[in-house]
Structure formats: C-alpha cells, structure tokens
Amino acid sequence: MKVFRGLSHAIPDRPCALTIGNFDGLHLGHQALLAKVRQAADRFNLLATVMTFEPHPREFFADLAGDSDKAPSRIANLRDNMNAMAKAGIDNIIVEHFNATFSRQSPQEFIEKIVVEGLHTKWLMVGEDFCFGAKRTGNIALLKEAGKQYGFTVETLPAVMINGHRISSSAVRAALATGNFAQANALLGHSYVISGRVVRGKQLGRTIGFPTINLSIRHRRPAVNGVFIVQVHGLAEHPLPGVASIGVRPTVEDAGRILLEVHIFDYEESCYGKLVQVEFLSKIRDEEKFSGLASMTEAIKNDEAIARTFFTSSLSQGKA
C-alpha cells in the first residue's frame, strides 16, 4: 500500500476505483464500503484508492469559527486508520490536507481536479449522504451526471445496520464516551485499541511506585477520556494487563497536552520507541484533579486493585 500526503504527490500507475470520506475508526460500515472498492478494483483492473482528509473537515471549520469544542472527537489516529485500510486491501491512500483553499472548491472543480484529472477515476463509491465542494453543495445526482460526462461509474452504499440501528462514527463515539466498549466493539467489528510508539514522559509514575509507558495523542479530542482497564499488545507474546489514563493530567500538568499513560502490572522493561497497541476493556472512572500527589497515589492504588480484580475474574471465567 502507498500513502500520499496530498493529491499533488500522488502518481497513479493506472486508473482507480475510488472512495472518499473521513473514515474515522473504520467501523463495519466503512469496512463494507472498502470491500466493495477492492472488489471493483479487481473486476476492472483498477487501483483500490481512498481519499481521506487531515484534519477532519468539521474540526477545521470548528477551529475557523473559534469553537473547537464543536469538533468531533477522534476515534482513531491516522496510523490505526491506515493499518485498517491496508488490511482491507487498499492500494493507495491520499491524505489530503483540508484547508481554506480546499474547502472553497466548487463541486465542479472537485470533480474535474480530483476525481478526473488527479486520480483518473473510473469507478467511484460513496455513502448515500455524501456531499462535497464548497458549503457541501455537491451531491450524488451531480456526481452521476459528471460520471456520464467524464466516463466514470458512480455507486452508493446504503447504510449498514446492526440490530436495526445505522452503523456510524457518531454511534461509535457515543458508545466510547460512555465506556460502553461492548457496543463500540460491535460497531467496529474488533476491540477498541489505540496504537503508538512509546515516548519518554516526566517519569513521575516511577517516583510514586507506578511506572508507566507513555503514548502521545496528537489530536486534541480523543473519543475516550478517563481511567481504564486495558491490556497492551506488542511487548510480549501475550497481552500484558494494566490500567491506563488518557487525558490532560490536571493534577500534574496545566499545559493541556493529552497523553495516554499505561501502568503495566509487574512490568519494568525499557521499551522506548516500541510500537504498542493499547486495548481498552472497561472504564473505571473519569479523569480527576486531586489536591496533591498523596491523594492521586491513593486513587491510582484503588484503580489498580479494581483492574487486578477484573483480570482475576476474567481468568476464572476463562476469558483471558
């Protein structure tokens, strides 16, 4: 799979079967769409291609309006989304920088510059509610008319349902926000994980008896926030149990930097730079600001006791 940072860097080897969207979290609906793209690419000898955007368009417009709280939370980082696309058999990913210039393109410019001239699209699939161009004025009908003019086929994917409800990124975000991982996992088709490379932190955890591995969170609004029971993949042959905190660490830091910190039980190996996957199993509590390190340490001890009980119970029930 090839990844291009912007259409200007993309040099297609041959025409493509294309889909366009944000694809946050790559839930079952997205997976069904990507499967259709892969099938069309095989059928017509095309490159299976995804165009996605960074930042999320809604995040861009929220920042532009000075109201970043209206931006959607992020289910997955770009690495995890691209890994999922690779597993779906996508050949090329174009990560287009969404900015003011891009947002002002008319629907006709979007079709001509991106779909036709940029990617040489011969087959295009989008969701039924897909809109594009300045102020989202382009729609499916316009795409289909353009397809007749420029020689590409347009197909739409109906909403994918589970238990009578539409699968969507919004539904996944809602489940994660309430700590309902069973529901989130059902919508995603897999366990909820955040991956990243281990970075150096302030090593405060070591001084209070709870060493952690740290992962930077590049986006400002992760879909999960608080303290969780987790297991870590990538450091041993089997998942390692632990407890994780994701948030701005209000007791020890005021800069607003978001960090994922994981205390792995009975593990003290150096693992800086290693790529790990943190799998979220259950929420313990929301993030809190404590009066000092003593009260924070007591809370962490309680979090660890809850998590250890969880894993002991899971072992006794044969779930480990």
The pLDDT of residue 142: 97
d(CA 176, CA 61): 24
Each residue's pLDDT expressed in tens, for the chain with a length of 320 residues:
999 999 888 777 799 999 999 999 999 999 999 999 999 999 999 999 999 999 999 999 998 888 888 889 999 999 999 999 999 999 999 999 999 999 999 999 999 999 999 999 999 999 999 999 999 999 999 999 999 999 999 999 999 999 899 999 999 999 999 999 999 999 999 999 999 999 987 666 566 668 899 999 988 899 999 999 999 999 999 999 999 999 876 545 555 678 999 999 999 888 999 999 999 999 999 988 887 778 888 999 999 999 999 999 877 676 65
Supply φ then ψ for residue 256, to 5 degrees. Answer: 80, 5
Query: Whose CA is closest to 129, among 118, 117, 143?
Result: 143
Residue 225, classed as helix, strand or coil, is coil
In angstroms, rounded to a whole number, what is the distance separating the alpha carbons of residues 30 and 168?
Answer: 9
**Amino acid 13: pLDDT:** 78
Dihedral angle of Cα 204, 208, 210, 211, to the nearest 10 degrees? 40
What is the reported pLDDT for 291? 74
Please, how many CA atoms are within 13 Å of residue 74, restricted to the half-sphere of its CB? Answer: 22
Per-residue pLDDT reduced to its tens digit, 135-148: 999 999 999 999 99
Determine contact, residues 151/122, Cβ cutoff 8 Å.
Answer: yes
SS3 of residue 57 by DSSP: helix
Residue identified by tokens 């990617």 is 119
Tell which residue, 235, 251, 246, has the closest CA to residue 288: 251
Determine the pLDDT at residue 1.
Answer: 92
**Phi and psi of 2, rounded to 5°?**
-110, 140
Taking only the tens place, the pLDDT of each residue in 33-55 is 999 999 999 999 999 999 999 99
Q: Residue 257: what pLDDT?
A: 77
For each of the domains in the chain, give its residue range(s) and CATH number, in order of start: 2-166 (3.40.50.620), 192-316 (2.40.30.30)
